Structure 1
């Protein structure tokens, strides 16, 4: 990562690997996690959540048989139409949204994750390992009561996604504040082009992050509206979704503020670069004006005429040197008096 980029708390990113099916099921009062690869005949008792991570087509068929549903393919998950992302099929609610992944890397991504509510069970299909999933799994292992049903597991995951987006934008805002102080510090005369290049890179990184976060928030809002419109959602879940919607709106406002600040800092940085370039051009202009009179004097005495008054004068050479020095010093003094230097 380039120096100067903001750092989030230590999160673990996992690259794509062989497909895996993970079952989260109640074992008395404990939430058990069972991961398998390949064929499975029956669901573990009291299964609340089935997580498909980088599934193969064979594993998708296994889950389709176990839950009597059709799992969307990876290409179908990339569709941007609302009707392809949020729909009801054979009694199952299919919801796909973009989740921000790898926020601390040079290239953060908004990866599609599908949530399917089938009766009292939740099925998730994903090809990335975003931070909210790991955080939520650790939470429910400590507090199994957080997921009494698949619907509550879905809401818990969405809340974790919202919290993670808030943390990311807070860290990005803090980085922009530090960058702003660096750009506008009082002794900015020490700035050079390398620092400005680094500042532009950092601003671009935050802008990319803010854009993808806003896209994820938009997806989250649409998903919540779709889920709240279902008739079989209980009152407690709707209250929870209402709170989550309010959180999403407040985070979206913060993302808009962050985008505006990014635009301002980018314009300010480009303005400072222009000032830096103007100062360089000004120094060349001053040098040209300063050396013009001495050049004129040297040109006059360099002419090949037979009769020049000072040629036979013993002090002609020192006189010419003094005259050239004075002709260069007077413009410098004038510029200094005008505070142009």
Structure 2
């Protein structure tokens, strides 16, 4: 549970010409209690009206990380909305993920998390745009949220409005996906060299087990990234139909949509390359298996005549002239060796060995 409220920076008082105090500016990021206390201090120092007016400031962003039922109930009562449950956030229907309810926009997308581990996952994150506040509901802590929160703490101006926070988060998510796709493309180049390396090289993966594991992980990551990009693309189309967005917000949305399309194309390229490398690896394994089977087949064919000779002279019939012959045994051994060497020489001349 980690619930935070972020307030827009306190702007200068245009009527009196006096700028807000540093204490008020520092309250741009933090919980509501800290912001109220800083605002009260600013009012006393400047001789302005009582702090009650400052306490009524609505946050531009309420971040609900693994919220408790009491916290959800408090936010619902405070903003007059009904927050989707965790089960409802997992729904895949478009009508359950993107909808307008009494002027509040509900948008649920899948965000990639644990991307650097062997088991990348996607988690559902709900964005609720109600009046002048953005509410995010999440049950994981993806890297884009950590990064954006750090940026807001350093530069509170990034949280001037709910729309600015919304597009800032979406841009951070897209940037993270772009970085992951770039790293994945680099990893695939290394895998490609590993698949087609000469078997005589010391670094070659003889049984290709590690190569197959890496290809599987890369394919899993690219698939989950494409799922997240698809959700973001749908969210962009949904936002493009909203008349409440201002001109600058629509401009950011247009740029964001282009980025999503370009990254999706790159993800499709990666998926195709993963398929190619998987087929190539399986083909290399088949070739190695065929070579092994060929060796066994050649060996069986080469040692078939000696086996036939040995089986004949092992019958010990009474009327076998060679049994009483002084040179019978060495002649039989010589025939078996000769019948084995001649086929091997023939196979080698044909290039089968």
**SS of match in other structure, 1:172:** helix
CA distance in 1, matches of 2:80, 2:323: 110
Match of 2:167 among 142, 152, 155: 155
Shift of 1:44: 7.3
Contact 1:48 1:120 in 2 (8 A): yes
CA distance in 1, matches of 2:65, 2:279: 42
- The verdict on how the C-alpha distance between 1:82 and 1:188 changes in structure 2, with shifts beyond 3 A counting, is farther
2:280 alignment partner in structure 1: 268
- The verdict on how the C-alpha distance between 1:116 and 1:306 changes in structure 2, with shifts beyond 3 A counting, is same
- The verdict on how the C-alpha distance between 1:44 and 1:109 changes in structure 2, with shifts beyond 3 A counting, is farther
TM-score w.r.t. length of structure 2: 0.85
Please state if 1:303 is matched with 2:315: yes
2:192 alignment partner in structure 1: 180
The aligned runs of 1:1-341 (5 Å cut-off) are 19-25=1-7, 26=9, 28-30=24-26, 31-34=28-31, 45=57, 47-187=59-199, 195-341=207-353
CA distance in 2, matches of 1:76, 1:303: 82
Q: Where does structure 2 lack aligned partners over 5 or more consecutive residues?
A: 11-23, 34-53
The C-alpha deviation readout for 1:189-243, integer Å capped at 9, x for no partner, is 87566x4222222111111111111111011011111112111111111111100
Aligned CA RMSD, in angstroms, stands at 1.9
The C-alpha deviation readout for 1:159-200, integer Å capped at 9, x for no partner, is 00000011111111111111110010123687566x422222
**SS of match in other structure, 2:303:** helix
Q: Which stretch shows the higher mean deviation, 166-175 or 183-192?
A: 183-192
Which structure shows the higher helix fraction? 2
Q: Which of structure 1's runs of 4+ aligned residues deviate more than 4 A?
A: 188-193
**SS of match in other structure, 1:311:** helix
CA distance in 2, matches of 1:335, 1:43: 92
**SS of match in other structure, 1:97:** strand
TM-score w.r.t. length of structure 1: 0.88
Contact 1:24 1:32 in 2 (8 A): yes
Shift of 1:46: 5.1
Larger radius of gyration: 2
Shift of 1:106: 2.4
CA distance in 1, matches of 2:121, 2:25: 37
2:48 alignment partner in structure 1: none
Contact 2:2 2:64 in 1 (8 A): yes
Q: Where does structure 1 lack aligned partners over 5 or more consecutive residues?
A: 1-18, 37-41
CA distance in 1, matches of 2:153, 2:282: 50
Shift of 1:282: 1.0
Contact 1:21 1:35 in 2 (8 A): no
- The verdict on how the C-alpha distance between 1:319 and 1:35 changes in structure 2, with shifts beyond 3 A counting, is farther
- The verdict on how the C-alpha distance between 1:305 and 1:274 changes in structure 2, with shifts beyond 3 A counting, is same
**SS of match in other structure, 2:269:** helix
- The verdict on how the C-alpha distance between 1:79 and 1:143 changes in structure 2, with shifts beyond 3 A counting, is same
